[in-house]
Amino acid sequence: MSVGLGGIQFLGLASLLMLTLAGCGESNPRREVNGKITLKKVPLDNGTINFSPLGGAAGVPTTREGCVITNGEYKILAETGLTPGKYKVIISAGDNIDPNNPDGMPGPTGNYVSKDRIPAAYNTASKVEIEVTDKGPNQFDFDIP
């Protein structure tokens, strides 16, 4: 099978069009968010951090996301990150002490609710806010007294 000059031009034009359209797709509006968290000047050994949307950039839907804090650090990758906008921050870290056996070994050994080590100002009554931007870096560190 032979392809004439018109066929080659058509294939070339079609290929160029497909490449152009592939480059026009909307990029991921989500941004990586990371930071360090200390509790009483010591890196928080474990816990969670959650970001609740307060308002996004015009035309960009807001996202709600959270992650685990390990050894005083957290990171939400861009694939699942936050879209630009303002967020309320809620940090939580249970004490892992069984209220029925306060002298027992700490750890997830029973079905009980831990006492949260994080003060209400960073937790249940949090007024802590951050703003994620397109330009970044979106690193937010928290020093909890």
Q: Residues of the chain with pLDDT > 90: what percent?
A: 54
pTM for the predicted model, two decimal places: 0.71
| Residue 34 to residue 49: CA distance in whole angstroms | 10
Average pLDDT of span 8-36: 64
Q: Could you state, in order of their start, the residue ranges of all structural domains in the chain?
A: 33-144
d(CA 142, CA 6): 64
Give every CB contact of residue 7 below 8 A, 6+ residues apart in sequence: none
Query: Any idea of the CA torsion for 120, 125, 126, 127, to the nearest 10 degrees?
Result: -130
φ/ψ of 31, rounded to 5, equals: -125, 145
Bridging pattern class, strands 33-39 and 142-144: parallel
Q: Pick the more confident residue, 36 or 55.
A: 36
Number of Cβ within a 10 Å radius of residue 1: 3
Contact of 91 with 123, CB cutoff 8 Å:
yes
Query: What type of residue is 111?
Result: N
Instruction: Please name the helix (run of DSSP H) or strand (run of DSSP E) that holds residue 3, with its range, or none.
Output: none
pLDDT category of residue 17 using cuts at 50, 70 and 90: very low
Quickly list H helices, 1-134. 5-23
Give the mean model confidence (pLDDT) for residues 9-17: 50
pLDDT tens-digit profile of 102-139? 565 555 555 555 789 999 999 999 999 999 999 889 99
Q: Is 2.60.40 the CATH classification of the domain at 33-144?
A: yes
pLDDT at 29: 87
The whole-number pLDDT of residue 111 equals: 52
**Selected residue with higher pLDDT from 20 and 81:** 81
Contact 76, 34 (CB under 8 A): yes
Q: How does residue 9 score in pLDDT terms, banded at 50, 70 and 90? A: low
**In which region does residue 40 sit, left (phi positive, over 0), alpha (psi from -120 to 50) or beta (all else)?**
left
